[in-house]
Amino acid sequence: MCGRYNIIDDPAIRDLLAYLGIRQYLQTTYNIAPTEMVPVIRQGESGVELCRMRWWLVPSWAKEPSTQYAMFNARAEGLAESRAFRHPFKRQRCILPASSFIEWRKEDGKQPYDIRLREGALALAGLWDCWGEGSETILSCTMITTDAVPGFRHIHSRMPVMLERDMLQQWLNPEIDGRSLMPCLMSNLPGPLQVVPVDTRINSSRVKEKPEPIAAGEIIE
């Protein structure tokens, strides 16, 4: 499960956007939590585009928006069978650009860790859907998770799917059926991860400050 992440307007994020042909900048935002509006990259009618969506997927067939079920993450293993995710998985895939994500480990309470690539920004795999009609439409998304690689399991058993650069165009292409892209969702790292314990203040989603390290981190490869 991944329930928080950060976006920093820096050269790494700008390089990822430029690689995908996006000529916009992202505002630095810390401790992003489910149900908040987030920047999402998807294939639009005129090409790859950046838009804002609610980070908590509302299926197009739902009677009304609801937070009864945790729809901010989608397990990679069940996408093709899930009633909520199977349609978006076929044609409505997206990327959530991120500088880092937060995960917790049970120590003396819940200890948060800030996790980022040692080099570059993260392209996190997601799905999107559109609920409603006319002026009452809601664009929403979910972040896909997979089994953690062995070196990460002492932090958490799950991790977000971090896409390799050479997978991005395929992932966004709606002409490709998602079932043929299952290899993209395997447990894998696009590069070494830097994992740093940070101050527990960010355990509250109301705190929108830069996560402050409290000890030396480690590198996971």
What's the rounded Cα separation, in Å, for the pair 74 and 93? 12
**Which residues sit opposite 125 in a β-bridge?**
95
pLDDT-based confidence at 6, cuts 50/70/90?
very high
Residue 68 has pLDDT above 80, yes or no: no
* Structural domain includes residue 127: yes
Residue 196 has pLDDT above 80, yes or no: yes
* Structural domain includes residue 204: no
CATH number for the domain harbouring residue 69:
3.90.1680.10
Return the sign of the alpha-carbon dihedral for residues 83, 87, 92, 94.
Answer: positive
* Structural domain includes residue 138: yes
Catalytic residues: 2, 103
* Structural domain includes residue 123: yes
Mean pLDDT taken over the chain: 95
The whole-number pLDDT of residue 133 equals 76
Report the share of the chain in percent with pLDDT over 70: 100
Residue 174 has pLDDT above 90, yes or no: yes
Work out how many domains the chain is built from and give that number: 1
Domain that holds residue 45: 4-104+118-190
* Structural domain includes residue 180: yes
* Structural domain includes residue 66: yes
* Structural domain includes residue 195: no
- The larger pLDDT score, comparing residue 86 to residue 70, is at 86
pLDDT-based confidence at 93, cuts 50/70/90?
very high
What's the rounded Cα separation, in Å, for the pair 55 and 175? 24
Torsion angle of C-alpha atoms 67, 30, 152, 10, degrees rounded to 10: 130
The model's pLDDT over 94-140, given as tens digits with 9 standing for 90+, comes to 999 999 999 999 887 899 999 999 999 999 999 999 999 777 899 99
The helix or strand, by DSSP H or E, that contains position 104, with its residue range, turns out to be strand 100-107
Characterize 153-191 residue by residue with b for buried, 16 or more Cβ atoms within 10 angstroms of its Cβ, and e for exposed: eebbebbbbbbeeebbeebbeeeeebeebeebbeeebbe
pTM of the model: 0.96
* Structural domain includes residue 113: no
